[in-house]
Structure 1
Amino acid sequence: MANKSFPKPSDLPVPQGAEGWEDLYPYYLVFQDKLIDKENEKFWFCDSQHWPTVFKPFETIGGEFAVKCLGQYNARHLMIPNANGIEFRVHLGYLYMSPIPVPEDQIADRVPMFQERITHYFQNWDTMLADWKQRVLGTINELETLEFKPLPEYVPMEDILSGKAKDGTEVLMENFDRLIQLAYQNWQYHFEFLNLGYIAYLDFFNFCKEVFPDIPDQSISMMVQGVDMELFRPDDELKTLAQLAVDLGLQAHFANPDDPTATLAAIAAAEGGSTWIARWEEAQDPWFNFTVGNGFYGHDKYWIEHLELPLGYIADYIRRLDEGQTISRPKDELIAEKERVVEEYRDLLDGEQLEQFDAKCGLAATAYPYVENHNFYIEHWTMSVFWRKVRELSRTLQGYGFWEEEDDLLYLNRTEVRDVLFDLATAWGVGAPDGPIGKVVWPEEIARRKAIVTALKTARPAPALNTPPESITEPFTRMLWGITTEQVQSWLGNDEDAEEGTLKGMAASPGVVEGYARVILSADDLSEIQQDEILVAPVTAPSWGPIFGKIKATVTDIGGMMSHAAIVCREYGLPAVTGTGSASTTIKNGDYLKVDGTKGKVVIVDPDALRTEGPGAHSHSHDHGVDSHV
């Protein structure tokens, strides 16, 4: 008999040691007993694509701002006829989402408003996008000016003479409030164009499905691919630096990139080294404001603060150049393939349908780059500065004895941080001999919270909660997360065509390859990837670009046609299957896989075929490219 539903939130066991986890998060983020009947009627899916690990209390800010602001553009700005926003809750440390449909009787009323609003954007796209960029950069510049310095011993004499009449504690409080508001501001800006990018693509997608009922999803995405995206610029900068190092004969100095100070000193001292160093410094601002994570966690490592990361990628590119490999993305081939597919489908149309096809395809191709580019400005650059400032404040408060480790502020929520600042202001302002009260409160409480977070991490999240709807129609849920009616039934074990050793997902990027699996559960493990392996991960981050030239294909647990993994793989010409639900827990390191990105299937050919001969062994690749599209 078919499984009808996923567990209810209350059915999931609390990991041992995580009892009382609910009080780590604000009341509005956890399921409420008084609403249990209503909340159990809704279908919730886990967004492990953006939030793959347990939230520390302060880190919910990214989830709250992102999902709230996504929703406001659907429900309040653009008035999308069939989709409001997404409700979200934290359960056992992970983020769950429930899309909110628009009641049938309200859809028609929203259509004229929706048309008027998106027409304004699409008619003024270039000028409005240029204005958007200025606003976002203005926010980042202001974030950079915020300071969280320790307080002075006493108010300086010049403040007495100027009549300032304030003691400086207000600066800490004002700057903290401003830090939160500026992050919120850029998250509001983030979705202004993102939802439009999806809408333009969806409009083209739906039109194609209507006039070409058998068209594969991939063929539609290929018609807008091969663009020069800013999100790839950090990776392109590294490739340029690698090529320059080879041209200048500096390869020998990249033997130990894990020691940036020694590596950079050796390069600077070498002949031609100063040329390379100048180019290296030029690349950093802004392109090294790039994280190997996704910008939503305090522990995400940014290149600008961990120079061993970009140096390591450059060293790998140098190795590949010296071996005679091509390291550039196959942009020209992608564009040629795109033009071929567009022409193939244009030839099947005429008259008004052809005009509509050209208009919708053009609009989607214009709006599509933003779907990835915004990522650099918000998740990477804005959040790079944001987390740097959070750490600065955390270190300052650590210096006053509030906690033991420099990042312990992350175990407080943002309202509690405000209380701590007032505690500090009071103790310092009145000259309390024992200092702030928080010194005896927070170390013990943080230790308790750390133990809970550690315990929550021992359990993987359930992919979904409660009973799914008969069919999933909400466009973002399908496109971004790959949560489709078929996928949900597959998670429930109701797939009648299921085969032993075969995983099904979204056909996200075309091509067929075979190779050995490398399961990556954290960005810290990326260095383990060997040449020509197949990357298997819960989710990939856009910043994993430098490894996409090394691997043969990508398989993820979550993600749709418009997920970062899908888009990046298409732009690098790699097969990808996304949204499998369980690849990272089913496949083991060294399993021999056949990945069919054209059909959305992954076959574990040999579950124990551990690779023993080192990098590149057994590279039985047959990349069949793309099947005929029509």
Structure 2
Amino acid sequence: MDNSPEIKSFPSPFSVETPQGAEGWEKLYPYYLTFQENRKDVDGREFWFQNSQQWPVVVKPFETIGCEFAIRQLGEFNSRHLMIPTANGIDYRIHQGYLYMSPISVPEDQVADRVAQFEERAGYYFENWESLLANWYTKVKGTIRDMEAIEFRSLPDVVPLEDITSGKGRDGSEELFRSYDKLIDLAYQNWQYHFEFLNLGYIAYLDFFGFCKEAFPSIPDQNIATMVQGEDMELFRPDDELKKLALLAIELGLEQHFDQPDDADATLSRIGAAENGQKWLGVLEESKDPWFNFTTGNGFYGHDQYWIDHMEIPLSFIADYIRRAKEGAHLARSVEELVAERERIIGEYRDLLDEEMQEVFDAKIALARLAYPYVENHNFYIEHWTMGTFWRKVRELSQLFVDAGFWNDPSDILYLGRDEVRSVIFDLVNGWGIGAQAIGPDYWPTEIERRAGIIAALKSNRAEPAFNTPPEFITEPFTTMLYGITTEQVAQWLGDGEEIEGVFKGMAASPGVVEGIARVVTSALELGTLKDGEILVAPNTAPSWGPVFGKISATVTDIGGMMSHAAIVCREYGLPAVTGAGSASREIRTGQRLRVDGTKGTVTVLDDVENTAATAPDVAGAVA
């Protein structure tokens, strides 16, 4: 009789039923992004988790460019550039529209051979960090400006006479192909630059983290994170610009003009006509480029809204800052307090070491603090500015096809794969060139409607959190630090371990204990419902949500580790946070009273909605 314990598993991706109406969804994506039946023995063995941090909703065909470029480059810099001894890349698949990932470890017999290469390559970057990073900014900004300069011009009724008389010998249609190819190439280029420093930033922190765990076995993870907090980060700059504009509006006596910020054109028109209004608008223009190239999402989706294209978003934030400032709120982050706490903890732990080990400690923390700001700063330049420009250009191209009758809305292009778009360009120029009707207007409207129906059916289906049998222990550091995928988290998904009704366990991401009213937010469109002092509960957060962190009392997310954006931002704002809390945003309801213990990593439901819906937020002070 076999008495061995039963090993719990998640379902196989090959056994999950297709939602009604989504039949044939696999054909919307490249073959290499879906699980193939003839690879059951390979993909059916690996553990895959759904990355709801970066890809929380269904990915449309054109939007796969985000996961393909980002995850490929991440892996390349691990396994081909830096030769990280223990970690290769991350394999990835799309299943029923959702993205799943599986970290690839390095075989033990190859680790030693990679150590020397890694030390040489990473060492060069760490030794020349500042000059190489300065070059990075030049490269990335240059790529963005090149992308901004791309034009998609409609085809003329007739080739201009000067092209005939000059002997040009071309009709100009080739520029559409070149512009499209260049757009894709530039996006690919900046995604390579994205990971040039990012993995090194994590490595520097993980090296310091590992040293601390060995030198101080009982040190909490939060104390290690606190030792690098309080650094100046450019990712806070867009939010700082909003605060500056709010305070300037009060100073210039313009605050009354922000009563209806949802109507951006009318608001800006009233400000422009007011005394001192032009002065304020001048400062606004200076802030917009580049700091309003900020998305309410994460940059991976074509539907993400960017401040610079939807001015009602930053105007609404400014209006709220004006209200809070006039009520006496202090808008600036308490950086001095963060730095004081950082230095206190550094000093306490450093004093526990002998002189020799203190030198090692000093070197490792200096490296971690040197590299740490990039972990957040890169986000603005790539996910936000680069991808905002990219999606704007994609819509400009799509408008040509709308005008030619291929489809009805610029966003319809997202239902095509990027290789299909190139074929559609040929269809357009072919019909134009030979003087015939292109085929697209008779093909794509019906096909896009069919694909939209499949995507809608996939969206109605809740994604499985993971596939196949998890390893006994989750030890891959990037997976744990970034996504909060831990042994304990996976056990919760499987229903293992002790479960207490009304209690959610996650990552102790930012210390403190707060009680308050929950506000469940599932998209940026709902941020306006947040009231002062409420607890933000969300599947994940985005950097552009920064303006709400000054008014909430704590944060709870379904996914995310110690180095996730939500965790880092909450530590910088001094807010308790529990990340990687699994199904918290699906099970907690707006109006429930919660206790968020960011020191222990627990979220407790204290009262039901019926008892608290009419109760104003009553937030207890954070307890370290």
Instruction: Give the one of 359, 364, 370 matched to 1:355.
Output: 359
In the other structure, the counterpart of 1:568 is 569
In the other structure, the counterpart of 1:599 is 600
Look up the equivalent residue of 1:154 and give its one-letter code. V
8 Å CA contact 1:553–1:595 kept in 2: the answer is yes
Instruction: Give the one of 112, 118, 138 matched to 2:116.
Output: 112
Over residues 50-103 of structure 1, what are the superposed CA-to-partner deviations in whole Å (9 max), with x where a residue is unaligned? 001101110010011000000001110000000000000000100000000100
8 Å CA contact 2:242–2:318 kept in 1: the answer is yes
Give the Cα–Cα distance (whole angstroms) in 1 for the partners of residues 173 and 61 of structure 2: 24
The alignment partner of 1:45 has SS state of: strand
Is residue 530 from structure 1 mapped to residue 541 from structure 2 by the alignment?
no
Look up the equivalent residue of 1:562 and give its one-letter code. M
8 Å CA contact 2:592–2:613 kept in 1: the answer is no
Instruction: Give the one of 156, 164, 167 matched to 2:160.
Output: 156
Give the Cα–Cα distance (whole angstroms) in 1 for the partners of residues 109 and 458 of structure 2: 42
In the other structure, the counterpart of 2:503 is 502
In the other structure, the counterpart of 1:127 is 131
Give the Cα–Cα distance (whole angstroms) in 1 for the partners of residues 607 and 165 of structure 2: 79
Is residue 518 from structure 1 mapped to residue 522 from structure 2 by the alignment?
no
Give the Cα–Cα distance (whole angstroms) in 2 for the partners of residues 351 and 465 of structure 1: 49
Is residue 53 from structure 1 mapped to residue 57 from structure 2 by the alignment?
yes
- The equivalences for 1:60-79 within 5 A come to 60-79=64-83
Give the Cα–Cα distance (whole angstroms) in 2 for the partners of residues 566 and 22 of structure 1: 35
In the other structure, the counterpart of 1:578 is 579
Q: CA deviation at 1:398?
A: 1.1
Give the Cα–Cα distance (whole angstroms) in 2 for the partners of residues 264 and 442 of structure 1: 39
Query: Which moved further from structure 2: 520-529 or 372-381?
Result: 520-529
- The equivalences for 1:228-243 within 5 A come to 228-243=232-247
Is residue 371 from structure 1 mapped to residue 375 from structure 2 by the alignment?
yes
8 Å CA contact 1:3–1:492 kept in 2: the answer is no
In the other structure, the counterpart of 1:446 is 448
8 Å CA contact 2:560–2:567 kept in 1: the answer is yes
Over residues 18-72 of structure 1, what are the superposed CA-to-partner deviations in whole Å (9 max), with x where a residue is unaligned? 1111011010000000001211100000001000110111001001100000000
In the other structure, the counterpart of 2:465 is 463
Give the Cα–Cα distance (whole angstroms) in 2 for the partners of residues 518 and 366 of structure 1: 36
The alignment partner of 1:536 has SS state of: strand
8 Å CA contact 2:553–2:619 kept in 1: the answer is no
Is residue 381 from structure 1 mapped to residue 382 from structure 2 by the alignment?
no
- The equivalences for 1:289-438 within 5 A come to 289-432=293-436, 435-438=437-440
Q: CA deviation at 1:401?
A: 1.0
8 Å CA contact 2:502–2:605 kept in 1: the answer is yes
8 Å CA contact 1:535–1:555 kept in 2: the answer is yes
Give the Cα–Cα distance (whole angstroms) in 1 for the partners of residues 330 and 268 of structure 2: 25
Query: Which moved further from structure 2: 5-14 or 104-113?
Result: 5-14
Give the Cα–Cα distance (whole angstroms) in 2 for the partners of residues 178 and 260 of structure 1: 33
Give the Cα–Cα distance (whole angstroms) in 2 for the partners of residues 327 and 43 of structure 1: 44
8 Å CA contact 1:268–1:274 kept in 2: the answer is yes
The alignment partner of 1:97 has SS state of: strand
Look up the equivalent residue of 2:344 and give its one-letter code. R
In the other structure, the counterpart of 2:263 is 259
Give the Cα–Cα distance (whole angstroms) in 2 for the partners of residues 494 and 471 of structure 1: 14
8 Å CA contact 1:3–1:493 kept in 2: the answer is no
Query: Which moved further from structure 2: 398-407 or 116-125?
Result: 398-407
In the other structure, the counterpart of 1:279 is 283
Q: CA deviation at 1:620?
A: 3.8
Q: CA deviation at 1:13?
A: 2.1
8 Å CA contact 1:511–1:575 kept in 2: the answer is yes
The alignment partner of 1:450 has SS state of: helix
The alignment partner of 2:410 has SS state of: coil
Give the Cα–Cα distance (whole angstroms) in 1 for the partners of residues 162 and 137 of structure 2: 40
Give the Cα–Cα distance (whole angstroms) in 1 for the partners of residues 555 and 167 of structure 2: 63
Query: Which moved further from structure 2: 314-323 or 524-533?
Result: 524-533
Give the Cα–Cα distance (whole angstroms) in 1 for the partners of residues 325 and 117 of structure 2: 54
Give the Cα–Cα distance (whole angstroms) in 2 for the partners of residues 2 and 479 of structure 1: 29
Over residues 406-462 of structure 1, what are the superposed CA-to-partner deviations in whole Å (9 max), with x where a residue is unaligned? 211110000000000011111111111xx2111111111100000000000011211
8 Å CA contact 1:49–1:538 kept in 2: the answer is yes
Over residues 550-576 of structure 1, what are the superposed CA-to-partner deviations in whole Å (9 max), with x where a residue is unaligned? 111110000000001111111111111
Give the Cα–Cα distance (whole angstroms) in 2 for the partners of residues 53 and 493 of structure 1: 24
Distance 1:388 1:267, change over 3 A: same
Distance 1:608 1:80, change over 3 A: same
Query: Which moved further from structure 2: 263-272 or 284-293?
Result: 263-272
Identity across aligned pairs (percent)?
A: 64
Look up the equivalent residue of 1:459 and give its one-letter code. N
The alignment partner of 1:462 has SS state of: coil
Instruction: Give the one of 18, 21, 24 matched to 1:17.
Output: 21
In the other structure, the counterpart of 2:556 is 555
In the other structure, the counterpart of 2:189 is 185
Q: CA deviation at 1:161?
A: 2.3
Give the Cα–Cα distance (whole angstroms) in 2 for the partners of residues 361 and 607 of structure 1: 45
Q: CA deviation at 1:618?
A: 4.0
The alignment partner of 2:515 has SS state of: strand
8 Å CA contact 2:591–2:613 kept in 1: the answer is no
Q: CA deviation at 1:341?
A: 0.8
8 Å CA contact 1:3–1:494 kept in 2: the answer is no
Is residue 218 from structure 1 mapped to residue 222 from structure 2 by the alignment?
yes
Q: CA deviation at 1:470?
A: 1.3
Give the Cα–Cα distance (whole angstroms) in 2 for the partners of residues 373 and 310 of structure 1: 20
Give the total of aligned pairs.
620
Over residues 268-314 of structure 1, what are the superposed CA-to-partner deviations in whole Å (9 max), with x where a residue is unaligned? 11122121111111100000000000000000000000000000000
Over residues 188-246 of structure 1, what are the superposed CA-to-partner deviations in whole Å (9 max), with x where a residue is unaligned? 10001000000000000000000000100010011001111100000000000001011
Instruction: Give the one of 161, 172, 175 matched to 2:176.
Output: 172
Give the Cα–Cα distance (whole angstroms) in 1 for the partners of residues 468 and 514 of structure 2: 37
Distance 1:239 1:3, change over 3 A: farther
RMSD of equivalent CA atoms? 1.1
The alignment partner of 2:14 has SS state of: helix
8 Å CA contact 2:533–2:617 kept in 1: the answer is no
In the other structure, the counterpart of 1:472 is 474
The alignment partner of 1:11 has SS state of: coil
8 Å CA contact 2:533–2:619 kept in 1: the answer is no
In the other structure, the counterpart of 1:268 is 272
In the other structure, the counterpart of 1:97 is 101
Give the Cα–Cα distance (whole angstroms) in 2 for the partners of residues 537 and 610 of structure 1: 22
Look up the equivalent residue of 2:548 and give its one-letter code. I
Give the Cα–Cα distance (whole angstroms) in 1 for the partners of residues 227 and 598 of structure 2: 17
Look up the equivalent residue of 1:193 and give its one-letter code. F
In the other structure, the counterpart of 2:494 is 492
In the other structure, the counterpart of 2:203 is 199
In the other structure, the counterpart of 2:590 is 589
Instruction: Give the one of 246, 260, 263 matched to 2:250.
Output: 246
Over residues 525-574 of structure 1, what are the superposed CA-to-partner deviations in whole Å (9 max), with x where a residue is unaligned? 11111111111111001110001111111100000000011111111111
Give the Cα–Cα distance (whole angstroms) in 2 for the partners of residues 406 and 417 of structure 1: 13
Over residues 119-155 of structure 1, what are the superposed CA-to-partner deviations in whole Å (9 max), with x where a residue is unaligned? 1000000000000110101100100111112111111
Distance 1:74 1:140, change over 3 A: same
Give the Cα–Cα distance (whole angstroms) in 2 for the partners of residues 244 and 543 of structure 1: 21
Q: CA deviation at 1:592?
A: 0.6
8 Å CA contact 2:532–2:617 kept in 1: the answer is no
Give the Cα–Cα distance (whole angstroms) in 2 for the partners of residues 487 and 129 of structure 1: 36
8 Å CA contact 2:507–2:579 kept in 1: the answer is yes
